[in-house]
């Protein structure tokens, strides 16, 4: 897997209602595909907008990815389409995924998904979920980011696992949402290590990473779990600090979990928590759309300006094509299903 120091993601959007006359009526030969020679219609069509969806509110990591992609990807697509960013919030990413599932499969609707969170929702909240994670056209991945824990100045820095576990089980924990993967990982981390149970944790849920960080900045909660990149975004010398990254490499000024001495195999614990951010299209989106779109994403990820911007913001990029992304979705689903009982209990 090739990894660059930069992250950005494009999310999917709604499709415009206007259609060309040829798209509605076919051509003179009676073809329904709208192309005069019977071939597939051009994608993207000249002058047609592509809406890019963010599953959270403005200001967080997902929002940064989508808005950055909306600027750079059009440079590498035919006809340089305009991309319109929309924040489709609700249900910790569930609302956006449900809407994507119902969207027209024509390439003008795509979403940067919260993969682990959507998988958890499919397992634990089947009565509210209208999608199948493997049923989307999972076109490519632009980032694989770890979960981190941040603290305010009210909490002393953690020197080791024992000090961290004491605070986690004694303080209110801010999260980006009840079904967010950061929340679930907090519970599963206790199950894997034997250090705490779900009833030992007191959560305060917010709608998205940016709202959580704003709450920590106001000292509503003094410890929170979120994507490591979101915590770094809001880190200030006299404010929020990165405490630990649940990975084998630290983020910002904080250590990695594997840097601490722990009463368990930290390398094994962090393995399931590498969070992929795929760009997904509705089911039955044509291969021709994906074949045009994915190379544009890869080229944008190698754009020098975008790379410089990502490096300045401390963001990583991990590009995976369609085949590897689909395999990753299946692997994540298999991993999270192992914790089905915990997940169902968490959301009862």
Q: 107 and 77 in one domain?
A: yes
Identify the pLDDT of residue 268: 81
Token output for 142? 């632009």
Q: Domain with 179 in it: what CATH number?
A: 3.40.190.10
Q: Which of 272, 307, 328 is the last residue of a domain?
A: 272
Identify the pLDDT of residue 286: 97
d(C-alpha 202, C-alpha 174), whole Å = 9
Q: What angle do CA 100, 205, 60 make, to 5 degrees?
A: 55
How large is the C-alpha radius of gyration of the chain?
21
- Helix and strand counts by DSSP (H, E) for the chain: 13, 12
Length of the chain in terms of residues written? 348
d(C-alpha 115, C-alpha 279), whole Å = 10
Q: 137 and 9 in one domain?
A: yes
Cβ distance 132 to 122 under 8 Å? yes
Identify the pLDDT of residue 8: 30
Q: 256 and 292 in one domain?
A: no
Q: 115 and 154 in one domain?
A: no
Q: 120 and 95 in one domain?
A: yes
Q: 120 and 15 in one domain?
A: yes
Identify the pLDDT of residue 299: 97
Digits of tens for pLDDT over the chain (348 positions)? 333 323 333 333 333 323 222 233 333 344 444 444 444 679 999 999 999 999 988 987 889 999 999 999 999 999 999 999 999 999 889 999 999 999 999 999 999 998 988 998 999 999 999 999 999 999 999 998 889 999 999 999 988 999 999 999 999 999 998 877 788 889 888 888 889 988 899 999 998 888 999 999 999 999 999 988 889 888 888 899 999 999 888 887 889 999 999 988 888 878 767 778 999 999 999 999 999 999 999 999 999 999 999 888 778 888 999 999 999 999 989 988 988 988 888 777
- Looking at the DSSP bridge assignments, the partners of residue 137 are 281
Domain count within the chain: 2
Question: What is the helix (H) or strand (E) element at residue 323, kind and residue range?
Answer: helix 322-337
Q: 248 and 151 in one domain?
A: yes
Report the sign of the C-alpha dihedral through residues 92, 96, 100, 101, in that order.
Answer: positive
- Select from 247, 270, 305, 328 the least CA-distant residue to 6: 305
- Select from 147, 145, 113, 146 the least CA-distant residue to 131: 113
Range of the domain at 287: 3-145+274-346
Identify the pLDDT of residue 211: 92
Q: Domain with 120 in it: what CATH number?
A: 3.40.190.150
Identify the pLDDT of residue 224: 97
Q: Which of 221, 246, 272 is the last residue of a domain?
A: 272
Q: 278 and 267 in one domain?
A: no
- Looking at the DSSP bridge assignments, the partners of residue 242 are 150
Token output for 295? 């190379």
Q: 203 and 265 in one domain?
A: yes
Q: Which of 246, 272, 298 is the last residue of a domain?
A: 272
């Amino acid at each position: 897997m090739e990894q660059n120091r930069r992250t950005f993601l494009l999310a999917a959007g709604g499709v415009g209602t206007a259609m060309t006359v040829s798209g509605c009526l076919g051509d003179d030969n009676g073809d329904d595909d709208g192309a005069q020679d019977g071939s597939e219609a051009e994608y993207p069509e000249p002058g047609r907008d592509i809406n890019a969806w963010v599953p959270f509110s403005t200001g967080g990591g997902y929002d940064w990815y989508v808005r950055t992609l909306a600027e750079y990807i059009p440079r590498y697509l035919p006809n340089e389409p305009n991309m319109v960013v929309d924040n489709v919030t609700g249900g910790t990413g569930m609302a956006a995924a449900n809407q994507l599932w119902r969207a027209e499969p024509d390439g003008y609707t795509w979403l940067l998904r919260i993969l682990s969170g959507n998988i958890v929702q499919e397992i634990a909240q089947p009565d509210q979920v209208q999608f199948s994670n493997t049923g989307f056209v999972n076109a490519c991945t632009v980032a694989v980011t770890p979960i981190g824990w941040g603290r305010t100045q009210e909490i002393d820095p953690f020197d080791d696992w024992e000090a961290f576990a004491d605070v986690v089980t004694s303080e209110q924990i801010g999260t980006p949402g009840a079904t967010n993967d950061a929340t679930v990982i907090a519970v599963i981390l206790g199950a894997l290590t034997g250090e705490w149970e779900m009833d030992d944790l007191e959560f305060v849920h917010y709608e998205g990473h940016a709202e959580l960080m704003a709450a920590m900045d106001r000292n509503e909660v003094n410890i929170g779990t979120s994507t490591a990149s979101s915590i770094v975004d809001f880190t200030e010398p006299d404010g929020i600090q990165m405490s630990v990254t649940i990975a084998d490499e630290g983020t910002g000024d904080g250590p990695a979990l594997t840097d601490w001495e722990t009463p368990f195999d930290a390398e094994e614990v962090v393995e399931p928590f590498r969070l992929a951010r795929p760009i997904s299209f509705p089911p039955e989106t044509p291969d021709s759309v994906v074949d045009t779109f994915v190379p544009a994403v890869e080229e944008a990820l190698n754009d020098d300006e975008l790379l410089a911007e990502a490096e300045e913001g401390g963001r990583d990029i991990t590009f995976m094509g369609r085949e590897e992304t689909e395999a990753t979705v299946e692997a994540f689903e298999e991993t999270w299903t192992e914790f089905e009982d915990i997940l169902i209990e968490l959301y009862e």
